[in-house]
Amino acid sequence: MADSTSTSSRLKGSFVALVTPFKGGDVDEDALKTLIEWHIENGTHGLVPVGTTGESPTLDHAEHERVIALTVETVAGRIPVIAGAGSNSTREAVSFVRHAAEVGADAALVVTPYYNKPNQRMLIEHYTTLHQCADIPIVIYNIPGRSVIDMTDATMAELAKLPRIIGNKCATGDLARCGQERLDCGPGFALLSGEDATAVGYNAMGGQGCISVSANVAPAACSAMQKACLEGDYATALDWQDKLYPLHRAMFLESSPAPAKYGLSLLGLCSEEVRAPIYGCTEETRAAIREAMSGLGLLS
């Protein structure tokens, strides 16, 4: 049986919202394994495959499940894996959550259902169904900018009563939400930022880490920043934040993960290939990414 309390305590630090590398239109499994090893070597505390940055909307079901399974297999228990398992269809999400449990992921990341616009009562039904469908901890992903709906603090507090709903990835942009959720959901509930640019502030409000896009190209720096936060050394954390901020901005000059994949291509770790309707970056954006990476000493 999954130990939800133990899992929650491990969800701290720098988690990368891992890209899905492509080659000739298909998932590049060799590049994926290389990326995973590189992240572990560079201090990334955990991996989140097949989230939005992993291009989950345009992966087919077989690709989705293969990326999750290969990630878990390659990691081999060295760091936690939170498997992207959300969908705007509860039935489809059940399938993804069950698969994540079957292959041994540490937790499932489940986004609030996009497009359908369920109300708060329906959100409780959706997450309760997923909680009951498999023996795996679940992290809620609240991102109103992409899903349109916003899970209220009251709804999250209600869901936090379920034993396997163990945390939230918050991408609301409202740092006060962290403080309210900390009070409402209790000390064992994992609070993870979903926004690189405000991650230090989020941690200061009681968060314990970030699911990061920037960590795709600067894992060691993002890990160092999160480590400083966990140790209460906010002077060091802010120093890292100052160094990382141009990269945080560059990673969102265009739709993710095009900037992250371009950055990784500069490091020779995967191609910059993305799947439509996401397309490659403009030259202006590429120049900003190169400048930000150079400022961090990532490019020779």
Is-catalytic flag, 261? no
Strand-pair category, 82-84 with 107-111: parallel
Strand-pair category, 165-170 with 209-212: unpaired
Residues 98 and 92: their CA atoms lie apart, in Å, by 10
User: Choosing from 12, 127, 141, 227, which is the catalytic residue?
Assistant: 141
Residues 228 and 287: their CA atoms lie apart, in Å, by 30
User: Choosing from 12, 169, 227, 261, which is the catalytic residue?
Assistant: 169
List of E strands, 184-265: 190-193, 209-212
CA-closest candidate to residue 35, choices 16, 11, 63, 9: 16
Residues 164 and 185: their CA atoms lie apart, in Å, by 13
Residues 146 and 6: their CA atoms lie apart, in Å, by 30
Give the count of alpha carbons within 13 A of 163, CB side only. Answer: 10
Active site amino acids? 141, 169
